[in-house]
Amino acid sequence: MPTTKIYHNPRCSKSRSALALLEERGAPFEVIRYLEDPPSAKELLQIARLLGIKPAELARKGEKLYKELGLADQQLTDKQWAAVLAEHPQLIERPIVVTGGRAAIGRPIENVEAILDR
């Protein structure tokens, strides 16, 4: 079973670049199309912990939905942020690669290279 996961959106060029990098490396990995199969709030809390950030920092603040939901004006707890992102996966930054107890957001792709090269 692969220990590397990529939370992937095939419509995103950065996500496709990260997927190509994983394919080049040749190690087994699991592709999670997070828009179709969203991570749970619990998984998002774990991912944020591995990234060393707050769940709020996983949100794509430039998305129209972010503004429509009024998220910039709300004071949410980490658990509440994780729940919002699980319910609205289009707000999750992409791509996210998780491997060996580490995680990286692939913007820029060098972030992913750094965790793969450890």
Q: What is the pLDDT of residues 63-102, one digit of tens each?
A: 999 999 999 999 999 999 999 999 999 999 999 999 989 9
Q: Is 84 exposed, middle or buried (0-12, 13-18, 19+ CB in 10 A)?
A: buried
Q: Decide if pLDDT at 35 tops 90.
A: yes
Distance CA 113, CA 95 (A): 13
Residue 12 known to be catalytic = yes
Q: What is the pLDDT of residue 3?
A: 83
pTM here is 0.93
> Residue 58: which of 110, 11, 7, 112 has the closest Cα?
7
Q: What is the pLDDT of residue 117?
A: 82
Q: What is the pLDDT of residue 2?
A: 55
**104 DSSP β-pair partners:** 97
- Position 13 confidence tier, pLDDT thresholds 50, 70, 90: very high
Distance CA 115, CA 59 (A): 21
- Position 1 confidence tier, pLDDT thresholds 50, 70, 90: very low
Q: Decide if pLDDT at 12 tops 90.
A: yes
State the catalytic residue, choosing from 5, 12, 67, 91: 12
For the chain, what percent of residues have pLDDT higher than 90? 92
Q: Comparing 28-37, 41-50, 90-99, 109-118, which segment has the lowest mean pLDDT?
A: 109-118
